[in-house]
Structure 1
């Protein structure tokens, strides 16, 4: 039996950080030089922690449900469902109280039991539209 968690377990632990805010745990799951191809400002595990903290500033109650983890070789495709309330500044928009929900997709690459790279998609137009609709209604 391996002493390491499986790659799917590592991603499950990672996405649980959205729910529990144990940011330092990311060091256990991501390589120090982790590279996010979807976010130009994320070029290390420390950058990833900073983005998670910013996400929690804008959406302190964000929750993630993993719908799919599909593994092929050293990569895992993730599809998940996010819910949150817009309670802090997000892309220049002040807190609105909007309840948002969306599905996101991401591919993670693993080396030596750690995430080294990812390619992701958050549906920003859909998120912004939900916030705008809430603002327009209130």
Structure 2
């Protein structure tokens, strides 16, 4: 339920809910940030860039204090900078402590395979730049 609450808060643009979902010392490994304020900043940036964006949980695997969550991203433009973009899926791995999200690894993006050698699929870097902002692509 915790991860559904996070996605519901993101989709509703309820930034104040982040304080009840994420631990005060939350660590985002891909962004290299710590704290709930980093979540609010990331969410705000995504909402500003993609006002119609919605995150939908497709699959979730939970074991002990870890969860792997696959989501699909809806409401984003079909192209960016003149390049056609497929609808991405995102895989994130979380660690939970005391009922709150304490750590994040990912996001790892899934793009559709190329259908032929001439089709131009965007690189993963396109999505990483959009998700994390220019200069913040550190990898998982």
Q: Structure 2 length as normaliser, TM-score?
A: 0.71
> 2:123 pairs with 122, 125, 131, which one?
125
State yes or no: 1:82 paired with 2:82: no
SS of residue paired to 1:39: coil
Give CA-to-partner distance per residue, 1:41-95, whole Å, 9 cap, x none. x311111111000000100110111111110110111001001234xxxxxx77x
CA apart distance, 1:128: 3.0
Residue 52 of structure 2 corresponds to 61
How many pairs does the alignment contain? 112
- Considering only aligned residues, what root-mean-square deviation do their CA atoms show, in Å? 2.3
State yes or no: 1:106 paired with 2:92: yes
Gaps of 5+ in 1: 1-8, 87-92, 130-138
Q: Distance in 2 between matches of 1:56 and 1:127?
A: 20
Q: Distance in 1 between matches of 2:85 and 2:51?
A: 12
Q: Distance in 2 between matches of 1:121 and 1:29?
A: 18
CA apart distance, 1:116: 0.6
Q: Distance in 1 between matches of 2:91 and 2:52?
A: 20
Gaps of 5+ in 2: 110-121, 128-140
Q: Distance in 2 between matches of 1:23 and 1:119?
A: 21
